[in-house]
Chains A and B, each alone.
Chain A
Amino acid sequence: MDKLVIAGKAYSSRLLVGTGKYKDFDETRAAVDASGAEIITVAIRRTNLGQNPEEPSLLDVLPPSQYTLLPNTAGCYTVDDAVRTLRLARELLDGHTLVKLEVLGDPKTLYPNMVETLKAAEILIREGFQVMVYTSDDPIAARQLEEIGCIAIMPLASLIGSGMGILNPWNLQIIIENAKVPVIVDAGVGTASDAAIAMELGCDGVLMNTAIAAARNPVLMASAMKKAVEAGREAYLAGRMPKKLYSASPSSPVEGVIGNMPRK
């Protein structure tokens, strides 16, 4: 079977989903289920002082026994914040070491800061974390992250939350061609066709949150994304026909047509 292998574990689904921006936990759970995702990202945040202690927690709704949780460093702008956040995540999740690192450089665009990302990745890997890393679509940055030991390279297709789709398929192709670890498009997917395109390029998976959560019907979009990722993967494996301006080779037989051929 065609499985996605992350840190030695095989997954049937190549769609990874975030759990943010949903109306409530019921919708989160329904969308995650409809997506078929086995790996789901979670954020680590301060407890609300004075919050209602009876409030359910995300981990009750999406238990670590049923999903592979991928704690992230969303919102971190420095090496120190990112590293501390994931140390807390490891403690919170009983020694869980699979993490998603992102170190942002700019609150307006949420573009990653690659210098800080590299430094944080080095520290985390030294401390035994298995780092899936959010990166710009710079093939050199991607290669450096792989060289220092990141276990998956996750380039943006366009900016986080933008829904602009795959803006630079050429860079993604170079990254995919060079990488020996899984390449997962993380950020920028807006609709199902974007996910299919990413997979057709040869990405090993797609990670998304807003494209599902901000759809008018998130659960239906989650289902669409599941199919798009599967379709894109199959199309990639099947190998598409070459593109050409026109073809002098129609699908139906040329012989036996009634009437006359037009002059060339």
Chain B
Amino acid sequence: MWKANFLGQRFCGATLWKMIQLIVNGQPQLVPSPDPGTDSGTTNDAMLNIRQLLEHMGLQGKRIAVERNGEIVPRSQFDQPMLANGDKLEIVVAVGGG
């Protein structure tokens, strides 16, 4: 669903797509990500952000916390393009426990 929004809002069909592999909660996941193509730089607008990933996983609006490569990603950074091939993510919730 977000793919359509994504294309419609920001990339207007001009952007290339690629699949990137993320390790989410210990499981490899192939996720569609905009392809920066020839644009150089390691972090740019064409990278996937956390909000898009959560939407892709059906977790939008859920109370969760995210760690990327061992570091907490504050909610305030969920809109920042940052996800690259091979990133390790932990997405957690509170559950019953003693």
Interface residues of A (CB under 8 A from B): 18-22, 28, 41-47, 49, 53, 57-59, 69, 71-72, 74, 84-85, 87-93, 160, 207-210, 213
Contact = CB atoms under 8 A, between A and B. Distances in A.
B75 interface: yes
Q: Quick one: which of B57, B63, B66, B74 has the most chain A CB within 10 A?
A: B63
B30 interface: no
B65 A92 contact: yes
A57 B96 contact: no
Contact of A53 (B62, B75, B95): B62
Interface residues on B, range: 20 to 34
Contact of B98 (A21, A47, A92, A93): A21
Given A53-B59, A87-B72, A92-B64, A43 B94 contact: yes
A18 to B, nearest CB: 3
Contact of B62 (A42, A47, A93): A47
B67 A84 contact: yes
A137 B63 CA distance: 36
Contact of A88 (B24, B27, B72, B96): B72
28 contacts: A18-B97, A19-B96, A19-B98, A21-B96, A21-B98, A41-B98, A42-B95, A42-B97, A43-B95, A44-B92, A44-B95, A45-B92, A45-B95, A45-B97, A46-B25, A46-B26, A49-B25, A53-B62, A57-B62, A57-B93, A59-B94, A71-B94, A74-B97, A84-B90, A90-B72, A91-B74, A92-B65, A207-B98
